[in-house]
């Protein structure tokens, strides 16, 4: 028999045993021994870590607390050395053969019979309970025989048989507890891995890093290694010892893992490798396990659906127990959880790459637009200047006609170049918004005044409703001017003669609201979807007949975004359109609506 401290069991304190029925069974055992064999006192103790803890006691109540105090497990050693062996488990140490014993040995005082076999208060009779390896797992000790005599052969035999039953009960209790703990550990590992694999954390490297701790803790492993099969995956191999130290895997080992994982996934199985023993495993693996001081590895494939995505290895050392079926099954399930997490991480990774690519493309497009429009601006200025010069000359009628056509063309080109330049400017993150207080009323008035001529030419009514209060927002005046200008000029452009354009500016709860409405040609629902994209023009032939670049609303949307505002459109084909823009007020005014502000004063400006 090995001494109790040769091997330490990892069981929890029995007071914390999740399976309390185990305690009741052991108590029942103790009671049976007392009754059936004929002892007043029976104590059943188990070895927990390196302590002998009493878990069941029958006997006088006044002794209970004392008996139940744990002793170091080696307290029995001197007794066992000196005791007489009465059976495979039974040991008897006669009072006359020992001096005072250390530990919680109780002398249950009892009147001693006048008999050669009389029981003496200092007699020790106990059964040592061991597991299959001969390691002590507990003890049953008895005292105060009802007969007052040391047990005879019949009693000893009975006691030995009860001890065998008690041994089985203790081992079963330990196994059950061990099983329950394994399930709890593996469950917590799964929970933690699932939590770590949530999309918020789901960069591939983060997923791998976050799994290490739950794995080594949940599986009481000495280390973990996760390898992602995707060959181009950076950071896709993560091996750590339980103390967090990195382990670099040899290429041959990686190669073997990559070879084995898909087969394991296909068969939905795992592989337990015992160092130096498991057949069919290449020598290089056995050598590596030995070099790393590992006794066993649990190799698990990671995957989702048909696809094997990676490989996980959990390791244990010499002193650790072998992998139990519960642990093996949990690890297999974790292969699925982690596989799903890898899948998400991989999808996210490629989504990010796509976004990066699109962003580069977008940058390139902006750059191209900016360069082209800059390059066009100078020659255009030369053309426009010369046309202006020509206009001052006394031209013949035909030349005048050509001059007028060229001027119209150059004006249109200038508009296109201006729009391109503005879009490039407001879309360029290197030119962040520089704000000053801007009165939206003033800007709106200027815009409406400027549009007057073309509105009058189309015989449109322009109604202006400005709230008679400060409507100041932090912003870029040029950009805000362009924002309102684009909306109002569109309303004028896309409203047939005789229609009405209404421009309102009012104070909202924490923003200035600009509303530009018309009763013009309207925009179909399908066309509204792409309205704010660059170069977008509607499919309406009536609208397409008007000159345009499709840049105006893209500029509007970008400026609104830079000012952290909002823009919305409401429209019905053939009935009219309303654009509503909200621009946040300066912080000092934010959230402080002005109470009692009178309704907007409607100033109808009839332009005819």
Under rule CB under 6 A, residue 537 binds ligand ADP: yes
Binding residues for ligand ADP, rule CB under 6 A, total: 23
Does 422 sit near ligand ADP (CB under 6 A)? no
Residues facing 605 on adjacent strands? 462
Q: Of the two residues 222 and 502, which places its CB atom closer to ligand ADP in the complex?
A: 502
**Dihedral pair phi/psi, residue 91, rounded to 5°:** -130, 140
Stretch that binds ligand ADP, among 201-209, 221-229, 429-437, 542-550 (CB under 6 A): 542-550
CB of 262 to ligand ADP, least distance (A): 53
Q: Which is nearer to ligand ADP, 83 or 505 (CB)?
A: 505
Q: How near is the Cβ of 521 to ligand ADP at its closest, in Å?
A: 5
DSSP category for residue 468: S
Q: What are phi and psi of 57, to 5 degrees?
A: -145, 135
- Distance CA(355)–CA(362), nearest Å, equals 10
Query: Three-state SS for 288?
Result: helix
490 lines the binding site for ligand ADP (CB under 6 A) = yes
Site membership for ligand ADP, residue 426 (CB under 6 A): no
List 258, 445, 536, 566, residue binding ligand ADP (CB under 6 A):
536
Stretch that binds ligand ADP, among 138-146, 310-318, 486-494, 581-589 (CB under 6 A): 486-494
Of 437, 474, 455, 468, the C-alpha closest to 562 is 474
The CA distance from 316 to 110, in Å, is 53
- Is residue 215 involved in binding ligand ADP (CB under 6 A)? no
Which of 29, 531, 559, 560 is close enough to bind ligand ADP by CB under 6 A? 531
Among 78, 87, 262, 550, binds ligand ADP (CB under 6 A): 550
DSSP 264: H
Residue 602 burial (CB count, 10 A): 11
Do the beta carbons of residue 11 and residue 18 sit within 8 Å?
A: no
Query: What residues does 473 pair with on adjacent strands?
Result: 438
Q: Is 543 a binder of ligand ADP (CB under 6 A)?
A: yes
Which stretch in 122-130, 314-322, 531-539, 590-598 sits in contact with ligand ADP by CB under 6 A? 531-539
The answer to whether residue 499 forms part of the interface with ligand ADP (CB under 6 A) is no
Question: Contacts from 159-163 at CB under 8 Å and sequence distance 24+?
Answer: 159/33, 159/37, 159/87, 159/90, 159/125, 159/127, 160/86, 160/87, 160/88, 160/89, 160/90, 160/127, 162/29, 162/32, 162/33, 162/36, 162/37, 162/127, 163/33, 163/87, 163/89, 163/90, 163/127, 163/129
Residues 559-578: x/- map of binding to ligand ADP (CB under 6 A)?
A: ------------------x-
Helices then strands (H, E): number in the chain?
14, 20
Residue 517 binds ligand ADP, judged by CB under 6 A: no
- Out of 57, 311, 323, 494, name the contact with ligand ADP by CB under 6 A: 494
Residue from 263, 265, 247 nearest 306 by CA: 265
Residue 558 binds ligand ADP (CB under 6 A)? no
- CB closer to ligand ADP out of 70 and 550: 550
CB of 397 to ligand ADP, least distance (A): 33
Q: Does 553 bind ligand ADP (CB under 6 A)?
A: yes
Nearer to ligand ADP, 301 or 522 (CB): 522
Q: How far is CA 478 from CA 8, 422, 448, 485, 574, in A?
A: 80, 10, 15, 10, 32
Q: What's the closest the beta carbon of residue 420 comes to ligand ADP, in angstroms?
A: 12
Query: What is the Cα–Cα distance from 55 to 30, expressed in whole angstroms?
Result: 10
Q: Which is nearer to ligand ADP, 30 or 551 (CB)?
A: 551
- Which position among 491, 514, 560, 567 is part of the footprint of ligand ADP (CB under 6 A)? 491
**Binding flag, residue 519, ligand ADP (CB under 6 A):** no
Place of tokens 């005789």: 498
Name the segment binding ligand ADP (CB under 6 A); options: 122-130, 189-197, 208-216, 540-548. Answer: 540-548
| 480/556 Cα distance (integer angstroms) | 9
Tell me the window of 429-437, 504-512, 517-525, 585-593 that interacts with ligand ADP (CB under 6 A).
517-525
413 makes contact with ligand ADP (CB under 6 A)? no
241 membership: H or E segment, kind and range: strand 237-241
Q: What residues make contact with ligand ADP under the rule CB under 6 A?
A: 486, 490-491, 494, 518, 520-523, 531, 536-538, 540, 543, 548-554, 577
């Amino acid at each position: 028999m090995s001494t109790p401290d040769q091997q330490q069991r990892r069981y929890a304190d029995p007071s914390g045993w999740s399976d309390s029925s185990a305690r009741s069974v052991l108590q029942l055992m103790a009671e049976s021994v007392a009754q059936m064999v004929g002892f007043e006192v029976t104590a059943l103790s188990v070895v927990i870590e390196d302590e002998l803890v009493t878990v069941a006691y029958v006997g006088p109540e006044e002794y209970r607390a004392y008996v139940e105090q744990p002793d170091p497990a080696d307290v029995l050693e001197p007794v066992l050395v000196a005791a007489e062996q009465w059976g495979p488990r039974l040991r008897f140490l006669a009072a006359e053969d020992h001096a005072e014993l250390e530990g919680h040995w109780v002398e249950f005082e009892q009147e001693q019979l006048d008999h050669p076999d009389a029981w003496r208060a200092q007699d020790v009779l106990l059964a040592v309970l061991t597991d299959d390896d001969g390691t002590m797992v507990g003890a049953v000790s008895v005292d105060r025989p009802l007969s007052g005599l040391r047990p005879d052969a019949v009693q000893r035999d009975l006691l030995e048989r009860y001890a065998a039953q008690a041994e089985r009960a203790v081992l079963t209790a330990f196994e059950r507890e061990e099983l329950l703990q394994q399930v709890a550990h593996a469950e917590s590992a799964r929970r933690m891995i699932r939590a770590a694999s949530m999309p918020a954390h789901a960069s591939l490297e983060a997923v791998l890093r976050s799994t290490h701790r739950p794995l080594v803790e949940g599986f009481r492993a000495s280390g973990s290694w996760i390898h992602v099969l995707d060959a181009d995956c950076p950071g896709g191999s993560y091996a750590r010892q339980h103390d967090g130290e990195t382990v670099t895997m040899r290429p041959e080992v990686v190669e073997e893992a990559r070879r084995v994982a898909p087969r394991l996934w296909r068969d939905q199985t795992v592989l337990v490798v015992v160092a130096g023993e498991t057949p069919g495993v290449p020598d290089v693996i056995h050598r590596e396990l030995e070099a790393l001081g590992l006794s066993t590895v649990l190799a698990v494939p990671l995957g989702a659906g048909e696809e094997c995505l990676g490989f996980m290895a959990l390791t244990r050392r010499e002193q650790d127990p072998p992998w139990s079926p519960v642990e093996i099954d949990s690890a297999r399930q974790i292969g699925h959880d982690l596989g799903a997490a890898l899948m998400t991480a991989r999808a996210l990774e490629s989504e990010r790459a796509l976004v990066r690519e699109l962003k580069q493309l977008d940058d390139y497009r902006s750059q191209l637009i900016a360069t082209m429009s800059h390059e066009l601006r100078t020659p255009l200025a030369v053309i426009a200047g010369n046309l202006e010069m020509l206009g001052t000359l006394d031209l013949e009628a035909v030349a005048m006609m050509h001059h007028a056509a060229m001027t119209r063309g150059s004006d249109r080109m200038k508009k296109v170049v201006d729009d391109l330049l503005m879009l490039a400017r407001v879309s360029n993150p290197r030119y962040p918004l520089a704000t000053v207080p801007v009165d939206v009323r003033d800007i709106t008035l200027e815009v409406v005044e400027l549009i007057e001529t073309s509105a009058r030419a189309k015989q449109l009514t322009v109604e202006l409703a400005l709230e008679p209060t400060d409507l100041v927002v932090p912003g870029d005046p040029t950009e805000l001017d362009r924002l309102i200008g684009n909306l109002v000029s569109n309303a004028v452009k896309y409203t047939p003669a005789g229609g009405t354009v209404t421009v309102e500016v009012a104070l909202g709860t924490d923003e200035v609201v600009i509303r530009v409405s018309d009763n013009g040609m309207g925009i179909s629902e399908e066309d509204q979807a792409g309205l704010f994209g660059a170069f977008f023009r509607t499919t309406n032939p009536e609208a397409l007949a008007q000159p345009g670049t499709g840049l105006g609303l893209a500029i509007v949307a970008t400026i609104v975004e830079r000012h952290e505002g909002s823009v919305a459109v409401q429209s019905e084909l053939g009935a009219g359109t309303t654009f509503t823009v909200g621009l946040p007020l300066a912080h000092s005014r934010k959230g402080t609506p002005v109470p009692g502000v009178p309704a907007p004063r409607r100033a109808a400006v009839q332009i005819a």
